[in-house]
Amino acid sequence: MKGGFRRRDFIQMSATLSWLGIFSTCVPKSNSTQENTNQTFSGDPCEDFSGISEPEFKVREAFGYVKDSPIAESQCKNCNLWKPPAEGLSCGGCTLFKGPVYDQAYCTYWAPIV
Ligand code: SF4
């Protein structure tokens, strides 16, 4: 069924976050981000996970994050949970988990902008 961010999705997401024991760390502090702050990382900044713990990274995996969306019309940049990059930076973020996020990425919690 195609649709928005439904109550069932919210309950499932909350259960997942509770299971991982990190719900309190997922509350966004701003509306824009680039959370990779390692100044010495020389690769793609959207692949810099050096500031993210293993449990935090598992949250990303639990949500089925992939860096290239398999659905052309559903990408992070048009998701209601997207946090756009801070000015001058290239990676955004997600309200659901920590770390850099590609604008063309996707996860199973994609929700249309309302
Ligand atoms: S598609 Fe998933 S990873 Fe991307 S912004 Fe939306 S909830 Fe976050």
pLDDT at 20: 57
Residue 92 CA to ligand 1 centre (angstroms): 10
pLDDT digits 0-9 by tens, 3-44: 556 777 777 776 666 655 544 444 444 444 554 455 677 889
Domain presence at residue 106: no
Half-sphere exposure of 10 (CA within 13 A, CB side): 5
Domain presence at residue 102: no
| Tokens (6 digits) for 35 | 């959370």
Q: Which of 26, 35, 80, 94 to mutate to test the pocket of ligand 1 (most atoms within 8 A of CB)?
A: 94
Domain presence at residue 15: yes
Domain enclosing residue 84, as ranges:
7-94
Domain presence at residue 71: yes
Total domains in the fold of the chain? 1
Domain presence at residue 114: no
Give the pTM: 0.72
Higher pLDDT, 80 or 39: 80
pLDDT at 8: 74
Domain presence at residue 112: no
Strand pairing report for 93-94 and 82-83: antiparallel
**15: Cα separation from own chain's centroid:** 17
Neighbours of 14 (CB within 10 A): 11
Length in residues, the chain: 114
